[in-house]
Amino acid sequence: MKPKISDVAKVAGVSPTTVSRVLNNRGYIGEETRKKVNDAMKELNYYPNDIARSLYIKKTFLIGVIFPTTGNPFYGQLIFHLENYANSLGYKVLLCNSQGREDKEKSYLHMLQRNQVDGIIAGAHNRGIEEYDIPNLPVVGFDRYLSKNTPVISSDNYEGGKQATQLLLDKGCSKIIHINGPIDLETPANLRRTAYEDVLRDNNMLPITYETEWANEEVIRRLFDEHPDCDGIFASDDMIASVVLREAKKRKISTPNQLKVIGYDGTETIRTLLPELSTVEQPIKGIAEKAVDLLIKQIDGAWNGDQLEYTLPVKLIDSETTSLQKGEK
Amino acid sequence: MKPKISDVAKVAGVSPTTVSRVLNNRGYIGEETRKKVNDAMKELNYYPNDIARSLYIKKTFLIGVIFPTTGNPFYGQLIFHLENYANSLGYKVLLCNSQGREDKEKSYLHMLQRNQVDGIIAGAHNRGIEEYDIPNLPVVGFDRYLSKNTPVISSDNYEGGKQATQLLLDKGCSKIIHINGPIDLETPANLRRTAYEDVLRDNNMLPITYETEWANEEVIRRLFDEHPDCDGIFASDDMIASVVLREAKKRKISTPNQLKVIGYDGTETIRTLLPELSTVEQPIKGIAEKAVDLLIKQIDGAWNGDQLEYTLPVKLIDSETTSLQKGEK
DNA sequence: TTCCACATGTCAACCGGTTGACATAAATAG
DNA sequence: CTATTTATGTCAACCGGTTGACATGTGGAA
């Protein structure tokens, strides 16, 4: 059986209360006693039962993290930073892969409540769920409006969309098409599209947007079929951009000569595997830290609740797929 | 304050014990009573406190998962499947990104014990830690020997290494170099290297292996500098392979004509971003499910402990970077 | 000498749900 | 009409650590 406080007390020759005092640094403790207790803990390989502790103090130091899947490099990296930063602040992460499925997300939400998590960070690409309005449960959203009172962290989607579109224009594209996720998702990421449309209209060009949930080849083939004269594509994520590049290659459309492509996200994985892809890099680490900070502020009751949206700057990466070719304007 | 069992009992007009009976389906319960209780729970938005429950039943349904980082597509995907499958069996996942750092891994190990996890799944690329020999704590390793009694899941590393090397040979390569992780890590993944060396020696060729912890450009540049006549590279993971491809391109070495390259892992991410890369695909989902099954078997005391190594089959993907070019033999 | 900071012990309540023992009563079966 | 099954209540112990109240005893300062 696992040793408990009373076992440690017995070995150390002190009372259980004293052990608890050592554990929590409360009251007066003599140096030798502290040593005896610590030695006993080591000898018994004792680790305090945090479950019991949590029950009494009504705090678990657990945070639930709900995202579509760690398998996607963007979320994988975001979750890495979330966990890493949370850990450095003494919090632990309960992982939930919702796969964008409403039913899974709901059941995770219940599970997290049963497990008495101190707070939840939930992320983009899930359909609307009203149930995030949980009394006394701090929540932070990423690129996603969860309820009227939950703060949302995003990168500067409008600015990113604007810069990406403007870059294609500057590099001489005359027919620019945008590929985005489904617009019915209520997410700040839609601002990328808004920015794209604004920039095009400002330049008297017609915005055309294709919608696709994932990096769906079929949609991209359709795009090429319907717009053979397209010479610039702004994809709302790098995976989609890479499929675009591939399809262009298949059709002997040269990049960047005939077609310029820019993606979105700029994960380390993409920067390693596909450094030639121009993209808009999101500050993933910054997003993660902001989200955790904000959540813990809520947990500690130190959040005044006035600012609901937090926007972090993006960085344009002008790489080979948008290079200005000689001979072009 | 959060409602508790006694609050539910009050609203439903029954005793706390009856509520518990409904919750756990124990003893006799009348249909109307069950309904009254369920209604009361809904009305109060009641979720049983699993912390309290765990304390009594001495079981948390938590499993700790320790891997270098969810940011890497391979681990990200593996962890996705681990969580997903564990979830389907009623278990929850506590996420730990060790970053391959021994100190972090140790502190995670202690954290997990304090949190009373039912078991731990830990993965490759961490240096040796003796402390995995924890009495009464089920552990499963992935591609990593944790202690003499912990079972290890791996894909068939020897077969994978053999097939990869053989493929390069079959496609006509005459000087094949291998790039691997540090050999001092005690992992079954070293069998990839063993297989490579065996195959080369069987063909009277000299095995040459470069070691690198990560996808390190410098090592790869050195390889090209020192062996300009190399015409086949077997990289022990796809990230490294992609850096090889890039360096080759930089040096105007054409792939696959002058140089054939094959990687290892075959994650979805790589298959999407770099489908031209030949690789050895690991059965990630299968690995995850086997690991969870084995862990839960241990937890349930249903593991006899006789078989310590579990090997799953790999799949060779012969794509463009190893294509046989016309004109070559 | 007196008082107070320091050090430790004893005891019991508490966190919220689980479980077994036992009591009671209605419905159903033999 | 009795025996059994079904349905529910009361009560208390328990899981393991936390905390406050209170007692006791030491040594040093005033």
Which of the residues A59, A66, A77, A80 would you substitute to probe the B interface, choosing the one with the greatest number of B C-beta atoms within 10 Å? Answer: A80
The Cα A61–Cα A59 span in angstroms is 6
Q: Is A297 exposed, middle or buried (0-12, 13-18, 19+ CB in 10 A)?
A: middle
If you count DSSP H runs as helices and E runs as strands, how many of each does chain A have, helices first?
Answer: 12, 12
Inter-chain residue contact A72 with B70, CB threshold 8 Å: no
Instruction: Judge whether residue A47 contacts strand C, using its CB and a 7 Å cut-off.
Output: no
- Provide the shortest C-alpha distance from residue A158 to chain B (in Å): 26
A203 and A169 Cβ atoms separated by less than 8 Å: yes
Quote the pLDDT of residue A213. 80
What's residue A126's pLDDT? 63
Amino acid at A193: R
B115 Cβ contact partners less than 8 Å away, ≥ 6 residues apart: A50, A51, A92, B60, B62, B64, B94
Q: Kindly list the residues from chain A whose CB atom is less than 8 angstroms away from the CB atom of residue B277.
A: none
Hey, are the CB atoms on B55 and A55 less than 8 Å from each other?
yes
B116 contacts A50? CB cut-off 8 A:
yes
Closest CA to B54 of B92, B109, B100: B92
* Chain B 65..94 CB hits on strand C (< 7 A): none
Q: Inform me whether the pLDDT recorded for A328 exceeds 50.
A: no
CA–CA dist B313, B154 (Å, integer): 9
Q: Are A170 and A203 in contact (CB under 8 A)?
A: no
How far is the C-alpha of B61 from the C-alpha of B19, rounded, in Å?
A: 22
A301 CB-near residues (< 8 Å, 6+ apart): none
Give me the pLDDT at residue B183, please.
75
Do the Cβ atoms of B95 and A94 come within 8 Å?
yes
Distance B11 CA to D1 C1' (A): 40
Q: Is A51 within 8 Å of B96 when comparing Cβ atoms?
A: no
Neighbouring CB atoms inside 10 A of B299's CB total 18
First to last CA, chain B: 77
pLDDT tens readout for residues A164-222 = 999 999 999 999 999 997 777 778 889 999 999 999 999 999 999 999 887 788 999 99
Q: What pLDDT does B165 receive?
A: 97
Residue A281: strand, helix, or coil: strand
Tell me the β-bridge partners of B180: B211
The string of pLDDT tens digits covering residues A63-96 is 999 999 999 999 999 999 999 999 999 999 999 9
Locate the domains of chain B by residue range.
Answer: 5-48, 58-154+284-312, 157-282+316-322
Spatial distance between the Cα atoms of A55 and A50, rounded to a whole number of angstroms: 8
Name all contacts of A20-26 with Cβ < 8 Å and 24+ positions apart. A23/A48
The token duo for A246 is 């591939």
Nucleotides in C strand less than 7 A from protein CB:
6-12, 14-21
The sign of the CA dihedral B123, B129, B130, B134 is negative
- Locus of tokens 């948390």: B60
> Which residues from the 9-68 window of protein chain B have CB within 7 angstroms of nucleic acid chain D?
13-18, 21, 27-34, 52, 55-56, 58
Q: Which residues have C-beta within 8 Å of that of residue B161, sequence separation ≥ 6?
A: B191, B192, B193, B194, B195, B196, B199, B234, B280
CA distance B165 to B198: 10
Q: Shortest Cα distance from A173 to chain B (angstroms)?
A: 25
pLDDT beyond 80 at A112: yes
Structure letter (DSSP) for residue A125: S
Query: How far is B36 from B49, CA to CA, in rounded Å?
Result: 20
Instruction: List alpha helices for B16-72, DSSP H.
Output: 16-24, 31-44, 50-57
* Strand D and A174 CB separated by under 7 Å: no
CB–CB contacts below 8 A, A to B: 139
d(CA B285, CA B268): 11
Query: What pLDDT does A317 receive?
Result: 97
pLDDT of residue B128: 59
Select the CATH number that applies to the domain covering A157-282+316-322 from these four: 3.30.160.270, 3.40.640.10, 3.40.50.2300, 2.40.50.100: 3.40.50.2300
Question: Using DSSP, how many helices (H) and how many strands (E) does chain B show?
Answer: 12, 12
Q: Is B245 helix (H, G, I), strand (E, B) or coil?
A: helix
**Phi and psi at residue A210, in whole multiples of 5°?**
-105, 140
3-state DSSP call for residue B140? strand
B58-154+284-312 falls under which CATH superfamily?
A: Response regulator (3.40.50.2300)
CA of B50 to C1' of C13 (A): 22
Check whether A326 has a pLDDT greater than 70.
no
Q: How far apart are CA A174 and CA A196, in angstroms?
A: 14
Taking the C-alpha atoms of residue A115 and residue B54, their distance in angstroms, rounded to an integer, is 10
B5-48 matches B157-282+316-322 in fold: no
Separation of alpha carbons B171 and B11, rounded Å: 75
CA of A15 to C1' of D22 (A): 16
Q: Sheet containing B139-142: which strands, arranged edge to edge?
A: A309-312, A152-155, A139-142, A119-123, A62-67, A92-97, B92-97, B62-67, B119-123, B139-142, B152-155, B309-312
Is the Cβ–Cβ distance between A146 and A179 less than 8 Å?
no
B5-48: CATH class: mainly alpha
Provide the pLDDT for residue B248.
94
**Confidence category of residue A136, pLDDT binned at 50, 70, 90:** confident
A324 confidence band (pLDDT: 50, 70, 90): low
pLDDT computed for residue A95 by the predictor = 98
Answer whether residue A134 shows pLDDT above 90: no
The pLDDT value given to residue A148: 83
Number of neighbours of residue B200 by Cβ within 10 angstroms: 21
Distance CA B28 to C1' C25 in A? 14
Q: What would the pLDDT profile of B290-320 be if each residue is shown by its tens digit?
A: 999 999 999 999 999 889 999 999 999 999 9
What pLDDT sits at residue B1? 80
Alpha carbons B87 and B46: distance in angstroms, whole number: 22
pLDDT at B141: 94
* Residue ranges in chain B modelled with pLDDT below 70: 124-130, 324-329
Q: Which amino acid is at B158?
A: Y
Decide: CB of B136 under 7 A of nucleic strand D. Answer: no
Smallest CA–CA distance, residue A51 to chain B, in Å, is 6
Q: What is the SS3 assignment for B218?
A: helix
Highest CATH level, class, for A58-155+284-311? alpha beta
